[in-house]
Amino acid sequence: MKLVDSIHEPQKGELRVILASEGEPNTIIGKETLLKLNFNGVQTGEALVDIVSGRVADGITSEYELTPQQCGQATITIEGITDVNYSGEFTLLDLGINARHLFKSPSEPELSNYNTDIVIDGIIDENDLIEIARYMMQNPDYEMNK
């Protein structure tokens, strides 16, 4: 599946996504997971994710509305953000660790003592570096921000 477009309306608490399968071999037939979402919470706790509507096309002639039974909801647990080296705050060392291991899989044995996949996508990439830097800049207790 390919995320083609998305619209986020935070004031309404809504996210709208448009997905497309990538070629005939990837056509969805039957009940399958279409999308996995990762959330960044504003505080720890539980939140309700509710899929209220949906529409699908068969790629040949028709579009269909999903029934409420085909949609659904789930409760998710929002945990605190853990820095790379578990020191309790994001620092230049966290950025350096990830930069050193750029493009590696976070599951490699040498990285077992670190939380390197900050933007959870299965790889240490530029998105992780950007997110670490953002956390560093937002931390008023980080020595370089004083």
In a domain, 22, yes or no: yes
Beta-ladder partners of 51: 72
> Percent of the chain, pLDDT > 70?
97
pLDDT of 50 above 80: yes
Rounded-to-integer distance, Cα 146 and Cα 141, Å: 7
Considering the chain, what percentage of its residues have pLDDT values greater than 90? 43
Domain assignment of residue 96, yes or no: yes
57 & 99 share domain: no
Which pLDDT does position 28 carry in this prediction? Answer: 82
| Total number of domains in the chain | 2
Confidence of residue 103 (pLDDT cuts 50, 70, 90): very high
Count of C-beta atoms within a 10 Å radius of residue 139: 15
Whole-number pLDDT of residue 85: 97
129-140 pLDDT per residue, tens:
999 999 999 888
Q: Return all residues near 131 (Cβ < 8 A) that are at least 6 apart.
A: 118, 119
pLDDT in tens, 93-102: 999 999 999 9
Considering 9-13, 73-77, 130-134, the range whose residues carry the highest mean pLDDT is 130-134
Residues 42 and 102 in one domain: no
Say whether 134 sits in a helix, a strand or coil. helix
Same domain? 72 vs 111: no
Are 64 and 99 part of one and the same domain?
no
Per DSSP, the residues of 18-65 read: EEE-SSGGG---SS----------SSSEEEEEEE---EEE-SSS-EEE
What is the pLDDT at residue 10? 82
Is 128 contained in some domain?
Answer: yes
Position 41 confidence tier, pLDDT thresholds 50, 70, 90: low
Taking every pair of C-alpha atoms in the chain, what is the biggest distance, in angstroms?
61
How many Å separate Cα 7 from the centre of its chain?
Answer: 15
Predicted confidence at residue 40, as pLDDT, reads 64
Note whether residue 67 is domain-resident. Answer: yes
- Answer yes or no: do 58 and 22 share one domain: yes
Determine, yes or no, domain membership for 86.
no
What average pLDDT is seen over the chain?
Answer: 89
28 against 133, higher pLDDT = 133
